[in-house]
Amino acid sequence: MRLLLPTALSIFILLAFVVDVHSNNAPDQSAQMDPKLEELIDRFTKTKAIGVFTKLSLQTNVTRLHNAFADYHQGKQPPSIEELRERFDLMVQEMMILVQDKDPELARDLYTSRLLFWSYLSSSEKPVTT
Amino acid sequence: MIVNTSKTACSTKRYGTLFFLLYMTMCFTIVSAEDTGHDILIANDIDIALTLQGIDCDGISKLEQSDEDSYDVVCESGGSFSISQTEGGVLSVVDQLTGITLKSIGTILSVVPLIDQIFLQTNESTEQDAEVARSLFSIIELSGYMCDVITGVVRNTVDDHLVSCVRGRNYHVYTTEDGLVAVDKVST
């Protein structure tokens, strides 16, 4: 039963990762998550291509990236937006290499949606200059 | 006739006992095989989880369940870790040699093995350097290649890197046009 917990938490953290980045500043109606992204997150948390501890480990890394985004939106430099982009792309690569053999469809959709993810994360937020 | 009946009964009893023993042996074998298969899956899962945290485990040589969702593992590379999920669903990794708990970024950076070495030339390592190195290390190891310590990174684009590891191992980590992550060994 407890094995369901990390899956549920992974969904929560991944959603929080995306949503919280926007919630640091004024709410933006355009910041509604694309249903395609929601579906992708749901598929990633449910895939059997990777185990529970792997998902928890990814969750830890996503949380760290989320914290870096939060720092950026609070005006801290570093990280710069270029650095965040590099970390984001490497994290996508990590996720893809975990699933591309056992769940190639998910890996492909993750790849094709990565710019949508990035656009969602970065477009409506502007760094606070200090 | 009485003797024959008795012999038949005795024989039936023997066969019954033999059948029961065979049945129990089969059940035990099946359960053991399932347990072994389950352990292999867990060990592989934990090995990947540790790799994603930048820990060079090179496979699990010993796995012991210490609690419902907690395992003590010994790595092929020699490290010894206790890995579990906390009540809050957060991954907890304790290095049993140093006692350091890896739960948040503040503590994890101090024990990622390659952080101190990655920018050895400038003797500097930022959080960005550490995270880039950790990701590249994970991708290389998950591809089946070896990279004990990263000694240098050259960034071509955001998803195209040349990585130098110790012992002259160099890798090209990139995303193909087909959208697959690829790692190529680069000869020096």
| B89 with A56: Cβ contact below 8 A | yes
| A98 with B90: Cβ contact below 8 A | no
Q: How far apart are CA A50 and CA B161, in angstroms?
A: 25
User: Where are the domains positioned within chain B?
Assistant: 1-111, 113-188
User: Where are the domains positioned within chain A?
Assistant: 4-122
Which residues lie closer than 8 Å to A72 by C-beta, 6 or more apart? A79, A80, A81, A84, A127
- Please tell me whether the interface predicted TM-score (ipTM) of this complex is above 0.85: no
Q: Which of A51, A78, A93 sits opposite B45 (nearest CB)?
A: A51
Q: Looking at CA atoms only, how far is residue B156 from chain A in angstroms?
A: 11
Best interface-test mutation with B: which of A5, A9, A71, A97 has the largest number of B CBs within 10 A? Answer: A97
Q: Looking at CA atoms only, how far is residue B90 from chain A in angstroms?
A: 7
Residue ranges of the alpha helices (H) in B53-111? 105-111
Contacts of B159 in chain A (CB under 8 A): 89-90, 92-93
Q: Which of A6, A51, A92 sits opposite B41 (nearest CB)?
A: A51
Residue A126: band (very low, low, confident or very high) from pLDDT cuts 50, 70, 90: very low
Which residues are A103's β-sheet partners?
none
Which residues lie closer than 8 Å to B108 by C-beta, 6 or more apart? A60, A64, B53, B54, B102
pTM of the full structure: 0.74
- Tell me which chain A residue has its CA closest to the CA of residue B174: A93
A9 compared with B15, residue with greater pLDDT: B15
| B179 with A111: Cβ contact below 8 A | yes
Q: Looking at CA atoms only, how far is residue B6 from chain A in angstroms?
A: 54
Q: How far apart are CA A62 and CA A48, in angstroms?
A: 19
Residue type, A121: L
SS3 B102: strand
- Say yes or no to pLDDT of B114 above 70: no
What phi and psi values does residue A125 have, to the nearest 5 degrees? -105, 135
Q: Which of A61, A68, A86 sits opposite B52 (nearest CB)?
A: A61
- Tell me which chain A residue has its CA closest to the CA of residue B137: A94
CB proximity B165 to A under 8 Å: no
Sheet (strand B160-165) strand order = B150-157, B160-165, B170-175, B181-186
B159 compared with B7, residue with greater pLDDT: B159
Give the model's pLDDT for residue B125. 64
| A3 with B138: Cβ contact below 8 A | no
Q: How far apart are CA A17 and CA B96, in angstroms?
A: 31
| Percent above pLDDT 70 for chain A | 69
Residue A31: band (very low, low, confident or very high) from pLDDT cuts 50, 70, 90: low
CB proximity A107 to B under 8 Å: yes
